[in-house]
Amino acid sequence: MNALATAPVRGRLLRDEPLARHTSWRVGGAADRYFEPADRDDLIAFVRALPADEAVLWLGLGSNLLVRDGGFRGTVICLHNALDELRVEEGSEGRRLHAQAGVHCARLAKFAEREQLAGLGFMAGIPGTVGGALAMNAGAWGGETWPRVAEAELLFRGGRTDWIARDAVRYRYRHVELPSDALGFLAARFEVETDADGEHARYTRASLAQRKATQPVGRPSAGSTFRNPPGDHAARLIEACGLKGHRIGGAEVSTQHANFIITDATARAADVEALITHIALTVRAQTGIELVTEVRIVGDARSEGGAP
């Protein structure tokens, strides 16, 4: 790690940083290295100093992610407090919204509403950043990220950057295929329409009110745990199997929304993972349907003390 150890950075570079501080479930072991860049140029310079084989975890708000108790053997790059530029661009293709990867999805939705622009209201229901939404084609209320993308900027190993058009990206429900040497997204330009009469803004506000009424907003969770199977909803299947309120250690199936797992102060990542496994096995046994996790699970399953 000599190159990385001596690389000058203007942001924060920490060692053995507990990732429970940076994930929405508030569980998970430490990362070998944790970096918050000062800005885009600082990030690119840092990536240029990374060894070619360094394991890298791209982090936004830490939602949709479970880091195991043994932590992450590599470098975590967090854009939560960086790359937060957001603006309207005028061009031959009309008005577009330019958002850097660290912008909160809810902030993007509110900005679009303020500018009387429609098409991104569903972003208000995504508990993450633009970078995370791009990486997994996140969606809410029937809307998805990539159908709204005009082009996105990728950062590759070695520090190369490139803008790619939507048509050059293969994506589907909660999945995006990227080049093997791509580390993560830097920014995107989104297609929007005019919302002069405010109809789209009213729909967004109504959807947010529905979300607050039906989801455990304010409790530690990672959003939806499982993808919806074709023609059905994971929450309905989980509830039908009698799993609402089921608990393992400090992790519990929400009684408000069955596709949410919430944690308390005693929870460990192992509790959450065990509950995810139990839910999937129970639903398969009772319904024959294989639930697929929407959350990403990374890291070492061993505890930080070395015990399994």
Active site residues: 174, 224, 294
- Distance CA(278)–CA(280), nearest Å, equals 6
Residue 95 parent element (H or E)? strand 94-100
**Residue 30 class from Cβ within 10 Å (0-12 exposed, 13-18 middle, 19+ buried)?**
buried
Q: Residue 245: which residues within 8 A CB-CB, separation 6 or more? A: 252, 253, 255
Closest-CA residue to 236 (of 296, 297, 287): 287
**Residue 45 class from Cβ within 10 Å (0-12 exposed, 13-18 middle, 19+ buried)?**
middle
Contact 106, 123 (CB under 8 A): yes
Q: Residue 212: which residues within 8 A CB-CB, separation 6 or more? A: none
Q: At 125, is the secondary structure helix, strand, or coil?
A: helix
For residue 116 the two structure tokens come to 């009387």
In this structure, the strands spanning 117-118 and 139-140 are unpaired
